[in-house]
């Protein structure tokens, strides 16, 4: 029987997580140069209608259908939303199964939307659409099945509360793969165009992350409450460490952007930990995220990889770090696994194996996809001029 309280909670979470995609659009638009603001808005927002329909037609079934090919992918149990109705399902006990579909759709929408932030100035719209459709089917759906759909990684014992690997890491490393194939923009990024827009977007994302993480509990329970607390603590600790590092390395100066970036690193690392760790561990994880993601950003700059908005440094590295830290900090009173600090050494090994398999898979498949698409429909914008809304650019 459906639980009214849990259903109401997940309804709210689904609505807020969907709101996070327009917030990402605002964040990317504010961080991009002014003439590319509308282009970034379009590239992010198009994922809502496109992935919604794709998820209903086949994506949800590939991700959460019964095991096919030895747990590599889901079968066609839920093709065209067959048997997705108001009754509950073992995948989401106590909830209308159609609500579980909606919640997972909002996550499927935001994940490919993250990638375009690495490629400001370079993406033509048609090949971009083809890419996110194929990437969702060939990268996102399989990895989600491995981790959350009873695929082979979950059978091996890999755990991930709210998307360190299935959301953040695969988006970040896929973004890096596209950058390496397409190369750098002809002109360097000229900095943030609207700090106010960035702050508003981050405010929505910061609050929205509470629902993003706690909704993975699939109930209004203690795990959801712990996820909210850990999200807050990890983002706070990460921000403080980022500020200290920036103050030290930037002639004792810090800016509001340091607060934004520090918080984002902590929010990303909190997702795989979510309700599986104690609050003290979230503080440690957040502090590590601030330092590691800051270092990743500096490394990217030294290597001259033109990941314009540092999708790899925040989402790729932050998601990877969080997934590994589950192997250290997973509390057996909260988690189905036992972290190294609680005597469960095998969990860390399982997390490492899961991260390696998913990371290599998404990176290689993304590179192959981009090369094939680019051979048919070139990705890059000629002369780096925005494709969209030419008469409206001054109105942003």
Question: In 3-state terms, what secondary structure has residue 68?
Answer: strand
Phi, psi of 360 (to 5 degrees): -65, -40
Tell me what pLDDT residue 302 has. Answer: 94
CA 128 to chain CA mean position, Å: 18
The predicted pLDDT at position 381 comes to 80
Residues comprising the chain, all counted: 396
- Banded pLDDT at 8 (limits 50, 70, 90): very high
Span 348-375, pLDDT tens digits: 999 999 999 999 999 999 999 999 999 9
pLDDT of residue 187: 75
97: enclosing H helix or E strand: helix 97-113
Q: Is 122 helix (H, G, I), strand (E, B) or coil?
A: coil
Helix (H) or strand (E) holding 114: none
What's the pLDDT at 251? 78
d(CA 209, CA 198): 16
The crossing angle, in degrees rounded to 10, of helices 256-273 and 195-214 is: 10
Neighbours of 182 (CB within 10 A): 19
pLDDT surpasses 80 at 396: no
Distance (Å) of CA 57 to CA 63, 73, 119, 136: 12, 16, 28, 13
pLDDT of residue 388: 55
- The Cα–Cα gap between 238 and 254 comes to 15
Q: Helix or strand or coil: residue 67? A: strand
Share of the chain above pLDDT 70, in %: 96
The predicted pLDDT at position 395 comes to 36
Mean pLDDT of the chain: 93
Torsion of CA 104, 213, 173, 244, to 10 degrees: 160
**27 contacts 202 by C-beta, under 8 angstroms:** yes
| pLDDT tens track for 371-381 | 999 999 999 88
Q: How far apart are CA 117 and CA 60, in angstroms?
A: 25
| Predicted TM-score (pTM) of this structure | 0.94
pLDDT at 380: 86
**pLDDT: which is higher, 229 or 33:** 229
Q: How far is CA 381 from CA 32, 126, 185, 388, in A?
A: 16, 11, 10, 11
First to last CA, the chain: 49
Selection from 123, 346, 104, 55 nearest residue 218 by Cα? 104
Q: pLDDT (tens digit, 9 = 90+) per residue, 282-314? A: 999 999 999 999 999 999 999 999 999 999 999
Whose tokens are 């981790």? That residue is 147
DSSP for 326-354, please give it. Answer: HHHH--TTTSSS--GGGT-HHHHHHHHHH
| Res. 385: pLDDT tops 70 | no
Q: How far is CA 92 from the centre of its chain?
A: 21
Rg of the chain over Cα atoms, rounded to whole angstroms, equals: 20
Provide CB contacts within 8 A for 146, sequence distance 6+: 71, 72, 152, 153, 154, 158, 354, 357, 358
Helix (H, G, I), strand (E, B) or coil at 89: strand
Q: Which of 103, 118, 185, 191 is nearest to 148 (CA)?
A: 103
Q: pLDDT class for 1, splitting at 50, 70, 90?
A: low
pLDDT range class, residue 394, cuts 50, 70, 90:
very low
């Amino acid at each position: 029987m459906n639980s009214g309280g849990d259903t109401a909670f997940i309804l709210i979470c689904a609505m807020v997580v969907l709101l996070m995609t327009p917030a990402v659009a605002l964040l990317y638009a504010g961080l991009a140069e002014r003439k590319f603001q509308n282009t970034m808005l379009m590239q992010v927002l198009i994922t809502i209608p496109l992935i919604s329909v794709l998820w209903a037609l086949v994506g949800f079934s590939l991700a959460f259908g019964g095991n096919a090919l030895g747990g590599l992918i889901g079968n066609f149990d839920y093709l065209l939303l067959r048997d997705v109705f108001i009754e509950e399902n073992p995948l989401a006990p106590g909830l209308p199964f159609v609500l579980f579909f909606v919640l997972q759709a909002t996550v499927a929408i935001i994940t490919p939307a993250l990638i375009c932030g690495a490629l400001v100035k370079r993406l033509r719209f048609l090949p971009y659409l083809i890419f996110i459709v194929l990437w969702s089917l060939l990268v996102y759906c399989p990895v989600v099945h491995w981790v959350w759909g009873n695929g082979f990684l979950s059978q091996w014992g890999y755990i991930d509360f709210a998307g360190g690997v299935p959301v953040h890491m695969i988006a970040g490393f896929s973004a890096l793969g596209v950058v390496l194939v397409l190369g750098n923009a002809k002109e360097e990024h000229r900095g943030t165009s609207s700090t106010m827009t960035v702050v508003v977007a981050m405010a929505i994302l910061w609050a929205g992350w509470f629902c993003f993480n706690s909704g993975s509990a699939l109930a209004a329970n203690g795990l959801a409450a712990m996820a909210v607390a850990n999200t807050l603590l990890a983002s706070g600790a990460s921000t403080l460490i980022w500020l200290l590092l920036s103050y030290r390395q930037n002639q004792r100066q810090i800016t509001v952007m340091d607060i934004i970036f520090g918080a984002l690193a902590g929010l990303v690392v909190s997702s795989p930990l979510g309700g599986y760790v104690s609050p003290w561990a979230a503080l440690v994880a957040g502090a590590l995220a601030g330092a590691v993601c800051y270092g990743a950003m500096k490394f990217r700059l030294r290597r001259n990889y033109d990941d314009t908005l540092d999708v790899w440094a925040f989402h790729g590295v932050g998601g990877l770090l969080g997934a590994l830290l589950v192997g250290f900090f997973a509390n057996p009173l909260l988690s189905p696994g036992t972290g190294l600090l609680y005597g469960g050494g095998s969990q860390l090994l399982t997390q490492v194996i899961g991260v390696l398999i998913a990371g290599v898979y998404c990176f290689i498949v993304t590179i192959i996809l981009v090369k094939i698409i680019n051979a048919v429909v070139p990705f890059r914008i000629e002369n780096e001029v925005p494709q969209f809304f030419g008469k409206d650019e001054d109105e942003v």
